[in-house]
A and B are shown apart, each in its own frame.
Chain A
Amino acid sequence: MAEAASVPAESLAGCRARAARTVLDQVVLPGEELLLPEQEDGEGPGGAGERPLRLNAAARSRGRVVCGPGLRRCGDRLLVTKCGRLRHKEPGSGSGGGVYWVDSQQKRYVPVKGDHVIGIVTAKSGDIFKVDVGGSEPASLSYLAFEGATKRNRPNVQVGDLIYGQFVVANKDMEPEMVCIDSCGRANGMGVIGQDGLLFKVTLGLIRKLLAPDCEILQEVGKLYPMEIVFGMNGRIWVKAKTIQQTLILANILEACEHMTTDQRKQIFSRLAES
């Protein structure tokens, strides 16, 4: 029992907090506490003897650390709330101490402010539309939140339409609200998504993987044939190609590429390119 207690990953009472720096890109479990780099100076047992002169003031004035999804603040430490890999991003331009987050996988979407999502209009009541975004409540979308919409010039939105919009209000206490314009009043591609096409659901992690800046899957898929894809951060993807068969092939590829290795994917693409 004594040996088990000394292992730092033990989640029972007496768990020692680990430095976040040492755990980057490793799997973390809910309940673990992580120390930020500035705090680990005094924590180690050998630090008391020969503590090098660190300008702790300088370290602290480094700026604010952002704890992203999967982490919570617990005093001066970070508490992990989801299981996954811990990631870190260095601050780009000066201010801020960087961002830490947990790269986890889930299918259930929780509305977050600023996310672009695909929603389905389920009801039209007075001045607002009720849009199903996959969360616990349908989001509300005002009819004035479209580009060029006025009280007389109402947008042409019917029940059952697909909408690409972003959240302006999304917290656990209120009903989420979304809009189809940005802060300047321009649509920027948001609004009703056109006719035809196919909407299907994937995991949230896949969406983020596909939307990464250097995603090879999209580059390869784009070479097959002309198509249009819309990604919603709530796990929904809408695809459209010239024929139904092409659309279905595309949908199957995107769903399957989550579990394929690079080689398998390349094989499938080369077979498709031939046919």
Chain B
Amino acid sequence: MAAERKTKLSKNLLRMKFMQRGLDSETKKQLEEEEKKIISEEHWYLDLPELKEKESFIIEEQSFLLCEDLLYGRMSFRGFNPEVEKLMLQMNAKNKAEEVEEQTVELDVSDEEMARRYETLVGTIGKKFAKKRDRALYEEDENGDIKPVKAKKMFLKPQD
């Protein structure tokens, strides 16, 4: 009974994945191509010559933004709303493309502050590496900043 039924497997069954594992790649490719052919033959197409769209050089736009340089719509005067005033500067500057001015990078810390910090930093770090005897040389300023005392104790030769 099994021998009689062997050749009557349906096409759908043969297309299933577990049935195809045994096939070699050529047979698989052929099957795929046959399927694609069937599908593409079922598509309808018009038998007309290809119409080439005329390349037009006029573009239609309904927006006024392209036509006129309009300012930003939110405005505040005489400090009524400081955030809006900041926005005004930002947005209008963007429109006018004055980005050349804005290329100077805004410093987070000013130069003076940097110098001040560095001055005290030298003292703090210097204290860390100084030996125990030399640590006494570093005094604390009124502000709590550590400043190195300039005069270091050197050996004084007896004058006589």
Contacts and interface: CB of A to CB of B under 8 A. Distances in A.
Do A and B share a complex? yes
B74 to A, nearest CB: 5
A225 B75 CA distance: 13
B71 interface: yes
Interface string B59-96: 11111111111111111111111001001000100001
A225 to B, nearest CB: 7
Contacts of B73: 116, 164, 211, 230-233
B76 A227 contact: yes
Interface string A110-128: 1011111000000000000
A47 to B, nearest CB: 21
Nearest to B94: A188
B18 interface: no
A72 B58 CA distance: 9
B57 interface: yes
A68 B75 contact: no
Contacts of A228: 74-77, 80-81, 84
B56 interface: yes
Contact of B60 (A72, A225, A230): A72
B13 to A, nearest CB: 47
B75 A230 contact: yes
Contacts of B71: 211-213, 215
Give the size range of B's interface with the partner.
20 to 34
B76 to A, nearest CB: 4
Interface in A205-229: 208, 211-213, 215, 218, 221-223, 225-229
A37 interface: no
A101 interface: yes
Contact of B70 (A65, A211, A221, A222): A211
A67 B77 contact: no
A148 interface: no
Interface in B82-118: 84, 87, 91, 96
A66 B64 CA distance: 11
Interface residues of A, number: 49
Residue of B58, B60, B75, B77 ringed by the most chain A CB atoms within 10 A: B58
A210 B56 CA distance: 35
Interface string A223-255: 101111111110000001110000000000000
A60 B84 CA distance: 45
Nearest to A170: B62
Contacts of B69: 212-213
A226 B78 contact: yes
A8 interface: no
Residue of B65, B67, B96 ringed by the most chain A CB atoms within 10 A: B67
Contacts of A30: none
B56 A226 contact: no
A228 B76 CA distance: 4
Contacts of B59: 64-67
Contacts of A114: 63, 65
A191 to B, nearest CB: 10
Contact of B64 (A68, A73, A240): A68
Contacts of B65: 114-115
Given A211-B71, A229-B74, A231-B75, 5 more contacts: A60-B57, A66-B66, A67-B60, A223-B77, A226-B79
| Minimum-distance CB pairs A-B, first 9 | A222-B77, A226-B78, A226-B80, A211-B70, A231-B73, A228-B76, A101-B67, A73-B58, A189-B87
Interface of B: 56-81, 84, 87, 91, 96
